[in-house]
Each structure stands twice: as C-alpha cells, then as structure tokens.
Amino acid sequence: MKKALLALIALLVIGLAGAYAIVHLAFPKAAQPRAGKVDSSPARIERGKYLFDVIAGCADCHSVVDPTRFALPVVPGGYAKGKQFPPGGEGVQVAPNLTSDPATGAGRWSDGHLIRAIREGIGHDGRPLFPGMPYSEYAHMSDEDVESIVAYIRTIPPSVNSLPASRITFPMSIIMRLVPSPVAAVPPVSKADPAAYGAYLTKISGCQFCHTPFVKGQTIKEKLFAGGHEFETAPGIRAVSVNLTPEPKTGIGSMSEAQFLDKFYQYKEYAEKGSPAIRPELNTVMPWLGLARMDPAGHKAI
Ligand code: HEC
Ligand code: HEC
C-alpha cells in the first residue's frame, strides 16, 4: 500500500516536472523580430505620438506619474522613462524605459523588437512579457499604427533611468508563458466605417482590456466590457472598472450619447492645463487626461 502511494507520488512529481519542462521549452511562442527599420515621416511621427499619448495609453504606464493629482498626470521629466508599479498579487511589474537612451532605454532595441513586444508580447531579450502590458489588445493594431508608434518612440530624447526587470511570482510566471502569440500583417481599419473603427479603438485604447474582468493574466472573453477589472491606485487602495455594456441598471444603457461624450470632454481643461490635487485614495486609473484629447470622430465611433 505504502509502495503504491510512493509510486503514485513519484508519477505525479514526474508528470508535473514534465509539464513544467514542456511549458518552458515550447513556450513562449515567439517569431523572429522583423528586420530593417520602419519608414519615418512627419505624419507618422505625429500619428505615433497621438497613439502613444492619447489612444493607446503607452505614456500612462511607461512614465513616472503623480498620484496626488487627478487621473495621474506625468511628472515633469518623467515622460516615457519607465517605472516600477507597486507590488501586487502577481509580483512586481516594471514598465521599461522607452526613451532612446542606449544603456537604460530602448536605444539599442531594433524596430522589429519594439513591434514584436507591442503586438506579440516578447521582450527584446526574448522573455515573455507579463500580460499586464496589454499586448493581447495591441495584437489588433494595424501595421501602419504600430510602425507610427515606433517612428515616434525613436524621437523621444534619451532619459537615463535604470530599472530592475519585472519579477512575476509562481505560478503566474509559468502561466504567462502561454499568452504571447505571433501576429501576421494587420490591415488598417477605415474611419469611414464608425462601428468597425469604434471596435478597433476600444481594443487599442484599452477600454476593452480595462473594462473586462481580468483573472490570472487573462481577459475573461465571456464578459467583455462588463467591468470588474481591479487596479491598485495607491498602496492598498483598489479601483474597479465599471460596466460599459448597454445593460440599463449596472451598465451605461440609460446614458445618452451626449452624456457619454461629456464624461470625456469635462476633463479637457485638466488635460490641457494640468489636473488638480486629489487624495491618492480617491484617485482614478481611468486615463481621462489622455482620452479627453481624443479626436471627436474617435469618441463618437467608440
Ligand atoms: C497597463 C500598462 C501598460 C501599457 C498601457 C503599456 N505598457 Fe508596455 N509594458 C508594461 C509593462 C509592465 C511591461 C513589462 C512587462 C514584463 O517585463 O513582463 C511593458 C513592456 C513593454 C515593452 C518591452 C520592452 C522590452 O524589454 O523589450 C515595450 C517595447 C513596451 N512595453 C512598449 C509599449 C507601448 C509602445 C505601449 C503603447 C502602445 C505600451 N507599452 C503600453 C506596461 C504597459
Ligand atoms: C487603465 C484602465 C482603463 C482604461 C484604459 C479605460 N478605463 Fe474607463 N474606467 C476605468 C476605471 C477603473 C473606472 C472606474 C471609475 C474610476 O476609477 O474613475 C472607469 C470608468 C469609466 C467610465 C465611467 C465614468 C463615470 O464617471 O461614470 C466610463 C464611461 C469609461 N470608463 C469609459 C471608458 C472608455 C470608453 C475607454 C476607452 C476609450 C476606457 N474607459 C478606458 C479604467 C479604465
């Protein structure tokens, strides 16, 4: 009896070790970064900056922000230089320095490395990225848009900021190896089709990512836009996103289009002139300062 039990335990251990080895060897699924440089032009750089600051929220996560001011504005000198997030249940996430500093920033990473990291979740060093970097949403980003972002990133002046690597705890450190996935060419979405363009924007601007429950590194696909994604706004303080489905009581079904748009426009002045002081525990992670600057056609499409 005892022998059988020991054999069973031994089998179990071998099985687990085997599964661990397979996940380690076979994942992450990573394609080679593409070679060459993206074409840069003033129009692409402008579009890239708009995506980086306003639509895709890159600047929010990859900059040092002020938790004592409404909607976490970037601090002077803190733009794109990366930061460490407060430790959470899944370890410590560090958003890297994306300025062109060669030693501590993205200066030595190739354009192909950047595109692969943004859409496919593989770091320049080949590591799988923690899916808190919303690459599963950016996987929908068109080639034109991701190349514009890269063209813009190359223009950000170097800022020296040495940061440690992310430290994700077990078992998430293993589970997250399954998330990255190669992306084929993505054609642009026409602005002339507001429903398709709106759907595109809700993915690349993080509405879907932040307004859908997020459990163990995965967006819960059955509950898209139902709210319930939790965030730590200050140490020990949690914010939960709201339901954006048309459900009238808990969602936004009873809100008119004008009321919905006003939510964004009311913060335009803060976005332009700076936002007021707020107690950190009352602050919000909803990126109002960026989203208030979205062009009206984009807001209406959303
Ligand atoms: C919600 C926060 C968040 C947003 C939004 C975000 N990032 Fe990240 N990003 C991170 C974190 C955290 C990491 C590090 C993940 C890790 O180390 O596992 C990361 C990693 C990266 C990397 C990998 C760097 C390397 O080591 O190769 C690049 C490049 C990057 N982000 C660019 C962007 C760009 C461009 C955008 C906007 C399109 C963006 N990020 C939006 C949080 C974010
Ligand atoms: C970084 C995460 C994040 C992103 C990205 C995000 N939201 Fe939010 N949003 C939140 C959270 C959290 C709340 C909950 C209330 C709060 O903290 O202010 C919220 C609140 C809201 C509200 C309710 C406002 C109110 O006062 O009733 C609306 C409407 C909304 N978001 C729409 C959007 C849309 C549309 C997008 C995409 C363009 C978006 N959000 C992107 C996290 C996010």
In a domain, 19, yes or no: no
What integer pLDDT is reported at residue 261 of this predicted model?
A: 92
What is the CA(4)–ligand 2 centre distance, in A? 56
Choose the weakest-confidence range: 10-19, 23-32, 274-283.
Answer: 10-19
Compute φ and ψ for 239, nearest 5 degrees: -120, 145
CA distances from 16 to 2, 8, 77, 174 (A): 21, 12, 48, 12
Mean pLDDT of 273-280: 92
- Mean of the pLDDT values across residues 173-188? 95
Q: Summarize the confidence of residues 121-141 as an average pLDDT.
A: 96
Asked, for residue 7, whether it belongs to a domain, the answer is no
Answer yes or no: is 158 within a domain: yes
Q: How far away, in angstroms, is 9 Cα from ligand 1 center?
A: 41
Ligand nearest to the CA of 245: 2
Residue 203 lies in a domain: yes
Contact 50, 151 (CB under 8 A): no
**Is 32 within the bounds of a domain?**
no
Cα of 242 to ligand 2 centre, how many Å? 7
Mean model confidence pLDDT for the chain? 93
Distance between CA 211 and CA 192 in Å, rounded? 26
Q: Check whether the bond before 171 is cis (ω within 30° of 0).
A: yes
Q: Token pair of 162, please?
A: 């040495």
Query: Measured from the CB, is residue 206 less than 6 Å from ligand 2?
Result: yes
Please check whether residue 292 is in contact with residue 270, taking contact to mean a CB–CB distance below 8 angstroms: yes
pLDDT score at 141: 98
Looking from the CA of residue 153, the nearest atom of ligand 1 is: 35
30 in a structural domain:
no
Ligand approaching nearest to the C-alpha of 156: 1
Residue 121 placed within a domain: yes
Q: Kindly give the distance from the C-alpha atom of residue 32 to the centroid of ligand 2, in angstroms, as a whole number.
A: 35
Q: What is the pLDDT of residues 85-105, one digit of tens each?
A: 988 888 999 999 999 999 999
Domain that holds residue 233: 40-301
> For the segment 196-236, what is each residue's pLDDT rounded down to a tens digit?
999 999 999 999 999 999 988 788 999 999 999 998 777 78
- The CB of 59 under 6 Å from ligand 1? The reply is no
Does a structural domain hold residue 225? yes
pLDDT recorded at residue 294: 93
pLDDT value, residue 277:
96
Lowest-pLDDT choice from 20-24, 44-48, 102-106: 20-24
Q: What total of structural domains would you count in the chain?
A: 1
Ligand 2 contact, 210 CB (< 6 A) = yes
Report yes or no: 94 and 163 within 8 Å, Cβ to Cβ.
Answer: yes
Chain length of the chain: 302
Ligand nearest, relative to CA of residue 124? 1
